[in-house]
Amino acid sequence: MRETFAATVSEAMDRDPRVAVVLAAISAGMFRSAAARHPGRVVDVGIREQAMIGVAGGLALTGMRPIVHSYAPFLVERPFEQVKLDFAHQDVGAVLVSIGGSYDASEEGRTHQAPGDVALLDTLPGWTVHVPGHPDEARAALESAIPGDDRVYVRLSETSNRAPRPVDGRLSAVRTGSPRSAGVVVAVGPMLDRVLEATADLDVTVAHTSTVRPFDRAGLSALVGAAGNADVLVVEPYLAGTSAHEVAAALVDRRHRQLGLGVARDRELRAYGAPAQHARAHGLDAEGIAEAARGFFLA
């Protein structure tokens, strides 16, 4: 997805003179030729993440469309007050594009992991959040975000589904359960393939979205209305329960149950290894999801 990101943004720079890229050393090599073609529109501030966000806010104040990029912890967490004050408080926007997701950098350890990024952005108004599940979805999300003036976060990861799905902001059913089904499973972005595998023998509706903010509350309400039970399992690739308040708001008009799967909130996983091993440790592999789904829907 990182290569797709660099290619998509480089093409956008050729078309749209408003587009500028702000980096803090990371991925600078991928924008070297764009920088040569467009002097002054690729700004690498070095390893200075507060300045990276502030510079982006300043560029936006002059009418440019900044695209800001780094590893998720260095893009969202380290300069969080800049993200809060240098965009929304100034009434300007930007496209923030992270890599690393929750634990792509499993061998690097906790310092390079940011499972709380979406939850943090949830504390701020007006952010659209895309979590692409395929490189084609990453391209579609970027191509929809770049022409605007709003605040968009695109969370890239190395985990991908086999096939892309539409990036239209909606929660859409991939597999529809019977009118007596046990409920609805929401698979966010790259979680779809493993959710389909994990729930193959359950009568549930499986829905997918790669746009989690704004959350498609109407879409969830309709899917739950068509299901046999108002029970919702959300599987997200970041902090468990991040979208619980959205599910609650979508279903405020009826009695319902919900469970959120994701990266553990209650402990720091002190382990290296491969991303798949982290997925297993957090119960986010197909086996862990299947076990949680059976426990939730068949209880």
Smallest gap, in angstroms, from Cβ of residue 66 to other proteins? 8
Closer residue to other proteins (CB): 82 or 159: 82
Closer residue to other proteins (CB): 5 or 80: 80
Number of H helices, E strands in the chain: 12, 12
Q: End-to-end distance of the chain based on CA atoms, in angstroms? A: 38
Instruction: Enumerate the β-bridge partners of residue 20.
Output: 66
Calpha distance 22→44 (Å, rounded):
6
Closer residue to other proteins (CB): 27 or 82: 82
Pair 203, 178: CB distance under 8 Å: yes
Calpha distance 112→109 (Å, rounded):
6
Smallest gap, in angstroms, from Cβ of residue 123 to other proteins? 16
Closer residue to other proteins (CB): 92 or 284: 92
Question: DSSP letter string over 100-152?
Answer: STTTTTTTT-GGG--TTHHHHHTTSTTEEEE--SSHHHHHHHHHHHTTSSSEE
Calpha distance 68→86 (Å, rounded):
13
| Helical (H) or strand (E) element with 2 | helix 2-15
Closer residue to other proteins (CB): 40 or 179: 40
Closer residue to other proteins (CB): 82 or 128: 82
Give burial (CB, 10 Å; 0-12/13-18/19+) of 201. Answer: exposed
Pair 215, 250: CB distance under 8 Å: yes
Smallest gap, in angstroms, from Cβ of residue 151 to other proteins? 15
Smallest gap, in angstroms, from Cβ of residue 38 to other proteins? 8
Smallest gap, in angstroms, from Cβ of residue 276 to other proteins? 37
Smallest gap, in angstroms, from Cβ of residue 55 to other proteins? 4
Pair 101, 156: CB distance under 8 Å: yes
Smallest gap, in angstroms, from Cβ of residue 89 to other proteins? 5
Smallest gap, in angstroms, from Cβ of residue 114 to other proteins? 20
Closer residue to other proteins (CB): 48 or 217: 48
Say whether the peptide bond before residue 115 is cis (omega within 30 degrees of 0): no
Residues binding other proteins (CB under 8 A): 17, 20, 22, 39-41, 43, 45-46, 48, 50-51, 53-64, 66, 81-82, 85-86, 89-91
Residue 253, token pair as written in the block: 């008009």
DSSP, res 1: -
Closer residue to other proteins (CB): 48 or 294: 48
